Amino acid sequence: PPLYVITPTYRRPEQIPELIRMSHTLMLVENVHWLVIEDAKVPTKEVTKFLNRTGLRFQHLTAPMPAKYKQKKGVKPRGVSNRNRGLKWIRANATEGVFYFADDDNTYDLDLFTQIRRTKKVSMFPVGLCTKFGLSSPVVKDGKFSGFYDGWVAGRRFPVDMAGFAVSVKFLLQRPNATMPYRAGFEEDGFLRSLAPFEPREIELLGDNCTRILAWHTQTKKNEPSAALDMKLYRSTNLVELKQ
Ligand code: UGA
Ligand code: MN
């Protein structure tokens, strides 16, 4: 059965390089279907062109963040419209397998893709470089789930990172109302709660009983826009021309 990787992405100078890195990871994974979902009204030409070159099995979809959240100042619910669009696609097109929410800027251990395939309901595993604590992970005692460790608990029932869990498609299909809320910081918890009935003790522990980090919450430094986005935008002051 296929592995569905749901990747939210949006237009910025780092977009294509992030997608390049991610595609190179997925090229090493068998039977993977990449759902690339842009926070945009129309698909970006450069992204379409890029995806066609990868040779990967992919779906290029769009799902703009609703205006009322976009206009809000402060933290926005990033990637939520995209991920819900991915869930909608899975409900309409998939019958088996496993899906995973993979942000475009993270770093993924190849073992992650092997391990999450065996997910029956919801599996979880450690994520590195997460918050200033550097780690988000289920806590395992005597081989059994006993709680969570996360740098930001905030009363969440499932204090986990987006990159720290995978879900079986069949399990999702049995929960027609499962959805991700537009609530910054509470996207993971809201989505996992919406899978009810599902108890934390049912979590399938991966990464050798959560002793190994399988995903890293890497973040790319923001870059100046013009150069990466438009090759024709030379600044005359920085242009050295060949003399005759
Ligand atoms: C953290 C969490 O690790 C994310 O899983 C979570 O979605 C996010 O916070 C959040 O709740 O806002 P962080 O690195 O801070 O991640 O967020 P980004 O990587 O900037 O964005 C998460 C995903 O959404 C990325 O795949 C990004 O491409 C996408 N995104 C971001 C959009 O589609 N639209 C935006 O306006 C911003
Ligand atoms: Mn990120």
At residue 239, the pLDDT reads 85
Residue with tokens 């100078």: 13
Summarize the confidence of residues 179-206 as an average pLDDT.
Answer: 97
> Under a CB-based contact definition with an 8 Å cutoff, are residues 75 and 69 in contact?
no
Percentage of the chain beyond pLDDT 90 is 90
Instruction: Confirm or reject: Cβ of 38 under 6 Å from ligand 1.
Output: no
CA of 184 to the centre of ligand 1 (A): 10
The yes-or-no verdict on residue 235 having pLDDT over 80 is no
Which residues touch 92 (CB under 8 Å, ≥6 apart)? Answer: none
Q: What is the separation, in whole angstroms, between the first and last Cα of the chain?
A: 61
Q: Which ligand is nearest to the CA of 152?
A: 1
Task: Report the alpha-carbon distance of residue 16 to residue 143 in Å, rounded.
Answer: 41
Amino acid at 107: T
Tens of pLDDT along 109-142?
999 999 999 999 999 999 999 999 999 999 999 9
pTM greater than 0.90? yes
Amino acid at 132: K
Amino acid at 94: A
Which residues touch 115 (CB under 8 Å, ≥6 apart)? Answer: 123, 125, 206, 207, 214
Summarize the confidence of residues 189-211 as an average pLDDT.
Answer: 97
At residue 229, the pLDDT reads 58
Instruction: Confirm or reject: Cβ of 162 under 6 Å from ligand 1.
Output: yes
Sheet holding 135-141, edge to edge: 107-108, 215-216, 127-128, 135-141, 144-149
At residue 227, the pLDDT reads 56
Amino acid at 27: M
Residue 146: HSE in the Cβ half-sphere, 13 Å Cα cutoff: 7
Task: Report the alpha-carbon distance of residue 9 to residue 19 in Å, rounded.
Answer: 9
Instruction: Confirm or reject: Cβ of 14 under 6 Å from ligand 1.
Output: no
